[in-house]
Structure 1
């Protein structure tokens, strides 16, 4: 997870800003891959398997969001 913070009085150069942008983009793509993989794996389970886990099909999206983004 990449975070960019600007210190007061310190200006980031163009190359620093581009690097931060690319790191943030890579992080976002990684999180989206986790989201899609979680949705794919949970959708592959039968209703019985999901029930054994205490999961309803309507919960799959919110579980995937929490797994990928922590929300």
Structure 2
């Protein structure tokens, strides 16, 4: 079934937030199967907004051989 009579009268979406071009972004370049791919995303997206904790430092009495 293909709609042939649809008349697109839906208004274009207007975003009230800042556009992504105004945000600071981080980029990561990967090479997969010989093809380079650049991934760009807003800063803070990967951290989830939570400050990452450092792993605990091993104490001398915790180390066993």
TM-score norm. by structure 2 comes to: 0.24
Higher relative contact order (CA 8 A, sep 6+): 1
TM-score, structure 1 normalization: 0.23
Question: Between Structure 1 and Structure 2, whose CA radius of gyration is higher?
Answer: 2
Higher relative strand content: 2
**Which structure is higher in helix share?**
1
